[in-house]
Structure 1
Amino acid sequence: MTALTDLSLAAMKAGLAAKDFTARELVAAHVAAVEAARPLNAFLVETPDHALAAADAADAALAAGNAGLLAGIPLGIKDLFCTKGVETTASSKILQGFKPTYESTVTSKLFEAGAAMLGKLNLDEFAMGSSNETSAYGPVVSPWRAEGSTAKLVPGGSSGGSSAAVAARLCAAATGTDTGGSIRQPAAFTGIAGIKPTYGRCSRWGVIAFASSLDQPGVLARDVTDNALVLEAMAGFDPKDSTSLNVPVPHYAGALSADLRGKRVGIPKEYRVEGMDPQLVKLWEDGVAWAKDAGAEIVEVSLPHTQEALPTYYIVAPAEASSNLARYDGVRYGIRVAPEGGSLADMYGATRAAGFGAEVKRRIMIGTYVLSAGYYDAYYLKAQKVRALIAQDFERAFQSCDVLLTPTAPTAAFELGSKTADPIAMYLNDVFTVPASLAGLPAMSIPAGLDAQGLPLGLQLIGRPLDEQGVLNAAYALEQRAAFTAALARWW
């Protein structure tokens, strides 16, 4: 019999419905897996009591015939989502010990659907990073290893705890947040699927903010079907979030189709960057062939402002971060460092110096600089104008195609510590994912192959606003043809 932790989320639902096992048995197997995988450092807080109580409630609901969409399904929650009574730190020392008195809208929806929370997942501090190495509680270690090597690899970031936990079979799926690629890039690095929905599709209420005009909750799971199921449960209008979109949520999983006949898949020529890894080029070509095989027409499109996307993002996002993080001052919540005999300003400075890590301080300083008098027009205002041009590029491209196909990340996962000394090299990990974030578009990464070292590589699908179904369907078609079945060799 297949181990319960090896089942897909859809298979777990089917097994529970068929009474092949109980929700308590399913959750208990995952609780044990989480405990055994502590060397990965994926979970910051484990909540087995919460998970088992939800499992018992799910068993009762299943017996009564009124179970929710995710009844008894074990999930991991990125530690950016506020969870009532459970420590929520955003992987920062400055929020150490903070236990919210309220529940985020997304987690509320998931719990209402019957999901069982196994714990809170590690991330880059305040979601600022591409490798999960900026966490104040230590880096997450990818469950993958290159062939013939014992070197530890990054799981991607900022949702590295989420990607590692799903890839290591510690949970059926996990929440993530995507500001510039923080769901899609980790998914690509760990051989799983991840979707960032349209900005406003999932509520940001109760999600600790990094860059408010970019942050968007989403899902990381084993495959496209599992992503569709969780997204359906967590999406929807929220009157507490002024950016939430008041539109119906489709039945994503029920409408999945791998038939792309009549659809046009666009290939943006600007994504063929200089010095691109030939293995990635070949994978992209394979993706084009798979789309054709599914019945799609392939068209070349142009996104002329693509090369400006990364510098634009690294002006807009830090500017918003410098404003959002001003609230962490040692007064209302989190740690307080008060020098003896010092002033209120001294306490602010000492608390922030002790509480924030190097990357967060770097981005606060960049953001404060570009918003300062004399530089606002030269940097921030200009970046916002370029952001509008990037969105217009996508609007024009979607006049001739239904979905875009690109690589997800420029490389496979790299070794821990190999890029921490070079922030620019780290930022370049987001080169393919940032444009869709700036435009607020739905985008998804699916595992599509392995590089020469046996490490996963991903392909990205980008869709029109609110067309998550189109993105999911295109991803589903490619997923079937890629037939990615690479398995992890357990080492922890």
Structure 2
Amino acid sequence: MTDSSLTQLTIAQAREKLAARDISALELTESYLAAIEAANGALNAYVAVTPDKAREMAKASDARIAKGEAGALEGIPLGIKDLFATEGVHTQAASHILDHFEPRYESTVTANLWADGAVMLGKLNMDEFAMGSSNETSYYGPVVNPWRAEGDNKALVPGGSSGGSAAAVAAWLCAGATATDTGGSIRQPAAFTATVGIKPTYGRCSRWGIVAFASSLDQAGPIARDVRDAAILLKSMASVDPRDTTSVDRPVPDYEAAVGQSVKGLKIGIPKEYRIDGMPEEIEALWRKGIEWMRDAGAEIVDISLPHTKYALPAYYIVAPAEASSNLARYDGVRYGLRVPGSDVSDMYEKTRAAGFGREVKRRVMIGTYVLSAGYYDAYYLRAQKVRTLIKRDFEEAFAAGVEAILTPATPSAAFGIAEQDMDADPVKMYLNDIFTVTVNMAGLPGIAVPAGLDGKGLPLGLQLIGRPFDEETLFRTGYVLEQAAGKFAPKRWW
């Protein structure tokens, strides 16, 4: 039995209905599988669907619920970004070079979710190796945003790199999704699709079993329908892990308990450097509205300065490609994935990497190799790391002055058309989509994107809140205030 209305439930609502035995986990799962079958041809959000595994996990959830042994996410169907290793299931980072790779192990984050009773629906599309801001670099083709401009049928990007995650959540093809954020890859697609996405503090979630892009920047987090659902998911995803020495050994709070708490007296910083030249008036107006919402809720608004913000984007596009060139050196056609025969081993390496990597991945590997090469390491990579330290210090000084969260726009625009920004002709224009988000990764801080309004064409826009290290609770408190003031947004179904 399937019921399309079941896919409209939030995780919190579904959890209550499952606990009360009003619905079964199998019914909920079947409803999502039916929705995926009907819509994925139009949206291309999933690159692999696992119906048999989903039904098996749902039946096990129903059995545990019947015994009174339900976990925190018992019976909740989730989509998993193709960057997370899932045992025996397609894990290819949306790249040709990992053709047919099915790991014999499970990422720590997904293992945590399954331990709490979640159900896997399948693997979600993404930019290849998480390199992109529009989900157009995937070997499996672009994801289509479920949102459309009013009176226009043009296909829009969902943002990237976690575009499949954001589109699937927005289009009711999963109750929530895992995602990763290296320079904005959770928050930007969340803003483009009117979903909620949180990038936790670096070290809050284990990176073990997640295909690496830039190891000092990558961080897993959830994309969900609302702030409460994001809090529920992060509680299950976060953990210390001896296999990831960058994961932090500190208790995981009950994030959901922070949702709805008062923000009266909280100091919210407004950084002047985020008022960039040429910022659309709609973004500026939304930001002003967000400031008023926080003030109306009792927060204290203070102007702050983050003077090194202007250097964040160029420094990021040195550090991230440098780490990517190192991480992606392991894909050589020898042990797994694609292999293109050559006259010798060296020729095989070259042909495999040439055929296996897409244009954007090649571009970043080449940039990264260049900035790490002899004679350029000091001029580029070392200098970028020094800038990164200054960016981090800017935030530390603001927090030391009593600021508890920082409010900024999430993106410089609403979603744009597929193929509208030519990555080959002007890659920098695409990179500018990350202008409001990369500072958070460079400083290792938590950041949340919350839907805050619609632009003149009826497309969603988001606001971003940046928090102190390991203070995601304040982000859920403040994010909930924005959510309540702005209201909920959903796309008009066309798929």
Task: Identify whether the pair has TM-score above 0.5, normalized to the shorter chain.
Answer: yes
For residues 71 and 56 of structure 2, the distance between their equivalents in structure 1, rounded to whole angstroms, comes to: 15
In the alignment, residue 3 of structure 1 is paired with which amino acid? S
CA RMSD of aligned residues (A): 0.9
- Whether the aligned pair in 1 keeps the contact of 2:258 and 2:476 (CA below 8 Å) is no
Q: 1:202 aligns with which of 201, 205, 209?
A: 205
**Corresponding residue for residue 164 of structure 2:** 161
- Whether the aligned pair in 2 keeps the contact of 1:122 and 1:159 (CA below 8 Å) is yes
Post-superposition CA distance 1:286-338 (Å, at most 9, x none)? 10011011110000010000000000000000000000000000001101001
Distance apart, 1:2 and its partner CA: 8.0
Distance apart, 1:491 and its partner CA: 1.3
Distance apart, 1:53 and its partner CA: 1.1
For residues 422 and 354 of structure 2, the distance between their equivalents in structure 1, rounded to whole angstroms, comes to: 20
**Corresponding residue for residue 356 of structure 1:** 357
Is 2:151 the counterpart of 1:148? yes
Decide whether aligned partners of structure 1 residues 434 and 97 sit closer, same or farther in structure 2, where only a CA change above 3 A counts.
same
For residues 223 and 68 of structure 1, the distance between their equivalents in structure 2, rounded to whole angstroms, comes to: 21
Is 2:460 the counterpart of 1:456? yes
Is 2:274 the counterpart of 1:238? no
- Whether the aligned pair in 2 keeps the contact of 1:194 and 1:445 (CA below 8 Å) is yes
Unmatched tracts of structure 2, length 5 or more: none
**Corresponding residue for residue 386 of structure 1:** 387
- Whether the aligned pair in 2 keeps the contact of 1:177 and 1:183 (CA below 8 Å) is yes
For residues 141 and 282 of structure 2, the distance between their equivalents in structure 1, rounded to whole angstroms, comes to: 32
SS in 2 for 1:381: helix
**Corresponding residue for residue 285 of structure 1:** 288
Q: 1:6 aligns with which of 5, 8, 13?
A: 8
Range with bigger deviation, 378-387 or 19-28: 19-28
- Whether the aligned pair in 1 keeps the contact of 2:4 and 2:35 (CA below 8 Å) is no
**Corresponding residue for residue 421 of structure 2:** 419
SS in 2 for 1:308: helix
For residues 203 and 346 of structure 1, the distance between their equivalents in structure 2, rounded to whole angstroms, comes to: 36
Is 2:46 the counterpart of 1:43? yes
- Whether the aligned pair in 1 keeps the contact of 2:90 and 2:101 (CA below 8 Å) is yes
Distance apart, 1:258 and its partner CA: 4.0
Q: 2:408 aligns with which of 402, 406, 418?
A: 406
**Corresponding residue for residue 28 of structure 2:** 26
In the alignment, residue 392 of structure 1 is paired with which amino acid? R
**Corresponding residue for residue 395 of structure 1:** 396
For residues 158 and 82 of structure 2, the distance between their equivalents in structure 1, rounded to whole angstroms, comes to: 16
**Corresponding residue for residue 468 of structure 1:** 472
- Whether the aligned pair in 1 keeps the contact of 2:194 and 2:490 (CA below 8 Å) is no
Distance apart, 1:49 and its partner CA: 1.1
1:262-281 → structure 2 map (5 Å cutoff):
262-281=265-284
For residues 258 and 79 of structure 2, the distance between their equivalents in structure 1, rounded to whole angstroms, comes to: 26
Distance apart, 1:359 and its partner CA: 0.1
SS in 2 for 1:398: helix
**Corresponding residue for residue 92 of structure 2:** 89
Distance apart, 1:54 and its partner CA: 1.2
Is 2:443 the counterpart of 1:439? yes
Distance apart, 1:280 and its partner CA: 0.7
SS in 1 for 2:464: strand
Distance apart, 1:419 and its partner CA: 0.7
Post-superposition CA distance 1:155-181 (Å, at most 9, x none)? 000000000000001101000000000
Distance apart, 1:20 and its partner CA: 1.4
**Corresponding residue for residue 105 of structure 2:** 102
In the alignment, residue 8 of structure 1 is paired with which amino acid? T
For residues 444 and 101 of structure 1, the distance between their equivalents in structure 2, rounded to whole angstroms, comes to: 33
For residues 351 and 58 of structure 2, the distance between their equivalents in structure 1, rounded to whole angstroms, comes to: 44
Q: 1:330 aligns with which of 321, 328, 333?
A: 333
For residues 149 and 355 of structure 1, the distance between their equivalents in structure 2, rounded to whole angstroms, comes to: 36
For residues 86 and 34 of structure 1, the distance between their equivalents in structure 2, rounded to whole angstroms, comes to: 18
SS in 2 for 1:195: strand
For residues 440 and 360 of structure 2, the distance between their equivalents in structure 1, rounded to whole angstroms, comes to: 23
In the alignment, residue 33 of structure 1 is paired with which amino acid? A
Number of residue pairs aligned between Structure 1 and Structure 2? 489
TM-score by length of 2: 0.98
For residues 272 and 290 of structure 1, the distance between their equivalents in structure 2, rounded to whole angstroms, comes to: 19
In the alignment, residue 363 of structure 1 is paired with which amino acid? R
In the alignment, residue 365 of structure 2 is paired with which amino acid? I
**Corresponding residue for residue 375 of structure 1:** 376
Unmatched tracts of structure 1, length 5 or more: none
**Corresponding residue for residue 117 of structure 2:** 114
Distance apart, 1:257 and its partner CA: 2.8
Distance apart, 1:487 and its partner CA: 2.5
SS in 2 for 1:300: strand
Is 2:476 the counterpart of 1:477? no
SS in 1 for 2:366: helix
- Whether the aligned pair in 1 keeps the contact of 2:137 and 2:358 (CA below 8 Å) is yes
In the alignment, residue 435 of structure 1 is paired with which amino acid? T
For residues 302 and 317 of structure 1, the distance between their equivalents in structure 2, rounded to whole angstroms, comes to: 25
Distance apart, 1:51 and its partner CA: 1.1
For residues 341 and 292 of structure 2, the distance between their equivalents in structure 1, rounded to whole angstroms, comes to: 62
For residues 449 and 256 of structure 1, the distance between their equivalents in structure 2, rounded to whole angstroms, comes to: 20
In the alignment, residue 322 of structure 1 is paired with which amino acid? S
Post-superposition CA distance 1:458-478 (Å, at most 9, x none)? 000000000010111110111
- Whether the aligned pair in 2 keeps the contact of 1:258 and 1:294 (CA below 8 Å) is no
Is 2:18 the counterpart of 1:16? yes
**Corresponding residue for residue 170 of structure 1:** 173
1:59-74 → structure 2 map (5 Å cutoff):
59-74=62-77
In the alignment, residue 263 of structure 1 is paired with which amino acid? L
SS in 2 for 1:345: helix
- Whether the aligned pair in 2 keeps the contact of 1:258 and 1:477 (CA below 8 Å) is no
